[in-house]
Amino acid sequence: MLGISIWCTNLNLSSRSLAIVLIVTLALVYFSYSFNACLLASISRTLQQSNLRNLLSLTTPPQSQDKTIALNGSSTSSSSSSTTNRDGSESFFSNSTSDGASPKYQLLRQQGLRPLRNLPSTLIIGVKKSGTRALLEFIRLHPDVRAAGSEVHFFDRHYQRGLRWYRHHMPYTIEGQITMEKTPSYFVTKEVPQRVHHMNVSTKLLIVVRDPVTRAISDYTQAASKKADMKRFEQLAFVNGSYSVVDTNWGPVKIGVYARYLERWLLYFPLSQLLFISGERLIMDPAYEIGRVQDFLGLKRVVTEKHFYFNATKGFPCLFKSEARSTPHCLGKTKGRNHPHIDPNAIERLREFYRPFNNKFYQLTGINFAWP
Ligand code: A3P
């Protein structure tokens, strides 16, 4: 102000002119202050809204993963707000999974991590009734493994729906986590090896195998539990009521010819991408088999014997969800069923039938499973 008055004096301005200059200066200062204040308020409001959006997206209740998907792979759900990225993965944005509500994911977002849905890099492809569910439940104890909850059957039943549909059934993962899926019928379905290869040539394949005779009985037991008037196992496993000719067209028998199916997979994948898990050992020593799986997947050995205990009532190993031995959990009652009594002569005949196929399988895998 002093400067202005000196300047005015120097210019010999009248006191009226001086007053005008003063008023104009004050007006300019006032307008500039108001403008800046408005600008700051607007920036701060925008920031607040964006934070709130993030928070809302993480606390909105989850929706079912099984929402309707159009055949072209686009989601028909209006509430999903995930987006597809250029690499084909799908970004986590809002309420399309229960993950969204979990504090873990809120924390991840606060740390600037972006959970994505990715296609699986590892598949449990079979074999049905060999312990595939146990394997999945055990390996998913690992914090770096995330798996689709139910069997997706993409490569055998829903292939025409496309990879986008498949990816949408995968859980959200963050960098460093493995996406996994289990559908045991993949192992025996003719078209599947080529289709998996087409998705990703580096897919890692986990295969649980068990003595094919026990496996056939387990398969039969499951089928019989759903059908009251099922014939006896012995009647179905052999042709013409005698034990001389094995019915190789009967599913429970056919699936046990592992070598035949494995040969198809080996046309598309090197043995180094396949890991065979002994179904028998998965029961006797789950920590050992899970150790092998973690090594194969390049994971730190986090799941150890501390996670397992033998449940005498169930007659099978059950698990603790954490090393701290909290939340004991056994597989459901459809796993570990009592098998019906089968004529020992029928069992012996089946063993004889499988022997050459088993030997072929040992030769292909380089592992002697020592089935009787
Ligand atoms: P049974 O029910 O005939 O005994 P899948 O999950 O591939 O369908 O395999 C089912 C089989 O897994 C069961 O067959 C059971 O023998 C075996 N299994 C392995 N570990 C198990 C566990 N910890 N609890 C229950 N069943 C287990």
For residue range 212-231, what is the model confidence (pLDDT) as tens digits? 999 999 999 999 999 999 99
pLDDT at residue 263, rounded to an integer: 98
| Rounded distance between C-alpha atoms, residue 263 and residue 258, angstroms | 9
Query: What is the dihedral angle through the alpha carbons of 150, 156, 162, 167, rounded to the nearest 10 degrees?
Result: 30
Q: Which residue has the tokens 């094995």?
A: 246
pLDDT at residue 322, rounded to an integer: 79
Report, as an integer, the average pLDDT of 243-254: 97
For residue range 201-211, what is the model confidence (pLDDT) as tens digits? 999 999 999 99
Inter-axis angle of helices 132-139 and 286-296, nearest 10:
70
Report, as an integer, the average pLDDT of 188-197: 98
Can you say how many angstroms the Cα of residue 298 is from the centroid of all Cα atoms in its chain? 17
For residue range 305-342, what is the model confidence (pLDDT) as tens digits? 999 999 999 999 999 987 777 789 999 999 999 999 99
Whole-prediction pTM value?
0.77
Q: How far does residue 316's CA lie from ligand 1's centre (Å)?
A: 8
Pairing of β 308-311 and β 274-278: unpaired
157 C-beta closer than 6 A to ligand 1: no
| Rounded distance between C-alpha atoms, residue 88 and residue 154, angstroms | 17
- pLDDT over 70 at 233, yes or no: yes
- pLDDT over 90 at 65, yes or no: no
Query: In whole numbers, what is the pLDDT of the chain averaged over residues?
Result: 82
Give 5's pLDDT tier (boundaries 50, 70, 90).
Answer: very low
Q: Which of 128, 129, 132 to mutate to test the pocket of ligand 1 (most atoms within 8 A of CB)?
A: 129
pLDDT at residue 29, rounded to an integer: 63
For residue range 171-187, what is the model confidence (pLDDT) as tens digits? 999 999 999 999 999 99
Nearest-atom number in ligand 1 for the CA of 214 is 3
pLDDT at residue 326, rounded to an integer: 79
Could you count the other beta carbons within 10 Å of the beta carbon of residue 246? 18
336 C-beta closer than 6 A to ligand 1: yes
Q: Which of 125, 133, 213 to mutate to test the pocket of ligand 1 (most atoms within 8 A of CB)?
A: 133
pLDDT at residue 240, rounded to an integer: 86
For residue range 98-155, what is the model confidence (pLDDT) as tens digits? 455 566 666 766 777 789 999 999 999 999 999 999 999 999 999 999 999 899 999 9
For residue range 269-313, what is the model confidence (pLDDT) as tens digits? 999 999 999 999 999 999 999 999 999 999 999 999 999 999 999
Nearest-atom number in ligand 1 for the CA of 283 is 20
Residues with Cβ within 8 Å of 369's Cβ and at least 6 positions away in sequence, in order, are 209, 211, 278, 280, 358, 361, 362
- pLDDT over 90 at 71, yes or no: no
- pLDDT over 70 at 73, yes or no: no
| Rounded distance between C-alpha atoms, residue 174 and residue 143, angstroms | 11
For residue range 7-64, what is the model confidence (pLDDT) as tens digits? 444 445 466 666 666 776 776 766 566 555 544 544 444 333 333 233 323 322 222 3
Pairing of β 122-126 and β 204-209: parallel
Structural tokens at position 204 = 């890692």
Give 96's pLDDT tier (boundaries 50, 70, 90).
Answer: very low
pLDDT at residue 68, rounded to an integer: 25
Structural tokens at position 50 = 């964006």
Nearest-atom number in ligand 1 for the CA of 339 is 3
- Of 324, 142, 120, the residue nearest 204 (C-alpha): 120
